[in-house]
Chain A
Amino acid sequence: MKIRTFKRHLREGVKNIFRNGWMTVASIGSVTVTLLLVAAFLVIILNLNHMAEKVEEDVIVKVLIDVAASDEDIKTLGHNIKKINQIESVVFSSKDEELDNLIKGMGKEGKSWELFEQDNPLNHAYIIKAKEPQDTAVIAEKIRGFDHVHKVNYGKEVVSQLFEFNKNARIVGIILIVGLVFTAIFLISNTIKLTIMARSTEIGIMKLVGATNGFIRWPFFIEGMLLGMIGSIIPIGVLLAGYYYIVEKLVISVQIPFFELLSFYPFAWQISLVILLIGALIGVWGSIMSVRRFLKV
Chain B
Amino acid sequence: MIKMENVFKRYQNGVTALNGVSIHIEKGEFVYIVGPSGAGKSTFIKLIYREVKPTTGLVEINGVNTSELKEREVPFFRRRIGVVFQDFKLLPKLTVYENIAFALEVIEESPRNIRKRVMEVLELVDLKSKARFLPNELSGGEQQRVSIARAIVNRPDIVIADEPTGNLDPDTSWDIMSVFEDINERGTTIIMATHSKEIVNKMKKRVIAIESGMIVRDESRGEYGYEN
Binding site for B on A (CB under 8 A): 2, 4-5, 8, 201-202, 204-213, 215
Query: With a CB–CB cut-off of 8 A, which chain A residues contact B72?
Result: 212-213
Q: Are B78 and A207 in contact (CB under 8 A)?
A: yes
Q: List 17 A-B contacts (CB under 8 A).
A: A2-B108, A5-B108, A8-B105, A205-B102, A207-B78, A208-B49, A209-B78, A209-B79, A209-B150, A209-B154, A210-B75, A210-B79, A211-B107, A212-B75, A212-B76, A213-B71, A215-B106
Place the interface of chain B in its size category: 20 to 34
Smallest beta-carbon distance A210→chain B, Å: 4
Q: Are A201 and B78 in contact (CB under 8 A)?
A: no
| Bound form: Cα–Cα A4–B49 in Å | 29
Which among A201, A210, A211, A213 is the interface contact of B91 at CB below 8 angstroms?
Answer: A201
Main secondary structure of the interface of A (DSSP, over half): helix
Q: Are B105 and A208 in contact (CB under 8 A)?
A: no
Considering the complex, give the chain B residue whose CB is closest to the CB of A5. Answer: B108
Smallest beta-carbon distance B175→chain A, Å: 23
Considering the complex, give the chain A residue whose CB is closest to the CB of B92. Answer: A201
Q: Are A210 and B107 in contact (CB under 8 A)?
A: yes
Contacts A5-B108, A209-B150, A212-B72 given; does A201 touch B89 at CB 8 Å: yes
Interface residues as binary, B61-85 with A (CB distance below 8 Å gives 1, 0 otherwise): 0000000000110011111000100
Q: Are B91 and A209 in contact (CB under 8 A)?
A: no
Q: Which 4 A-B pairs have the closest CB atoms?
A: A210-B79, A211-B106, A210-B78, A209-B103
Q: Are A208 and B78 in contact (CB under 8 A)?
A: yes
| Bound form: Cα–Cα A276–B79 in Å | 40
Judged by a CB distance under 8 angstroms, whether B225 is at the interface is: no
| Bound form: Cα–Cα A215–B111 in Å | 17
Q: Are A208 and B83 in contact (CB under 8 A)?
A: yes
| Bound form: Cα–Cα A210–B104 in Å | 9
Considering the complex, give the chain A residue whose CB is closest to the CB of B76. Answer: A210
Interface residues as binary, B147-158 with A (CB distance below 8 Å gives 1, 0 otherwise): 000100010000
Query: With a CB–CB cut-off of 8 A, which chain B residues contact A207?
Result: 75, 78
Considering the complex, give the chain A residue whose CB is closest to the CB of B105. Answer: A8
Excluding A209-B154, A210-B76, 12 further A-B contacts by CB distance (< 8 Å) are A205-B91, A207-B78, A208-B78, A209-B78, A209-B79, A209-B107, A210-B79, A210-B107, A211-B75, A212-B72, A212-B76, A213-B72
| Bound form: Cα–Cα A205–B110 in Å | 20
Query: With a CB–CB cut-off of 8 A, which chain A residues contact B107?
Result: 209-211
Considering the complex, give the chain B residue whose CB is closest to the CB of A209. Answer: B103
| Bound form: Cα–Cα A209–B91 in Å | 13
Smallest beta-carbon distance A15→chain B, Å: 11
Query: With a CB–CB cut-off of 8 A, which chain A residues contact B102?
Result: 205, 209
| Bound form: Cα–Cα A3–B33 in Å | 44
Interface residues as binary, B192-225 with A (CB distance below 8 Å gives 1, 0 otherwise): 0000000000000000000000000000000000
Considering the complex, give the chain A residue whose CB is closest to the CB of B77. Answer: A210
Considering the complex, give the chain B residue whose CB is closest to the CB of A216. Answer: B106
- Interface residues in B35-87 by Cβ distance below 8 A to A read 49, 71-72, 75-79, 83
Smallest beta-carbon distance B94→chain A, Å: 9
| Bound form: Cα–Cα A202–B98 in Å | 13
| Bound form: Cα–Cα A209–B103 in Å | 6
Q: Are B106 and A209 in contact (CB under 8 A)?
A: yes
Smallest beta-carbon distance B81→chain A, Å: 8
| Bound form: Cα–Cα A204–B89 in Å | 9
A5, A8, A205: residue with the most chain B Cβ atoms closer than 10 Å: A205
Query: With a CB–CB cut-off of 8 A, which chain B residues contact A211?
Result: 75, 106-107
Query: With a CB–CB cut-off of 8 A, which chain A residues contact B79?
Result: 209-210
B75, B83, B102, B108: residue with the most chain A Cβ atoms closer than 10 Å: B75
Smallest beta-carbon distance A232→chain B, Å: 31
Q: Are B89 and A215 in contact (CB under 8 A)?
A: no
Which among B49, B91, B150 is the interface contact of A202 at CB below 8 angstroms?
Answer: B91
| Bound form: Cα–Cα A209–B105 in Å | 10
Contacts A211-B106, A212-B75 given; does A4 touch B111 at CB 8 Å: yes
Interface residues as binary, B87-120 with A (CB distance below 8 Å gives 1, 0 otherwise): 0010100000000001101111001000000000
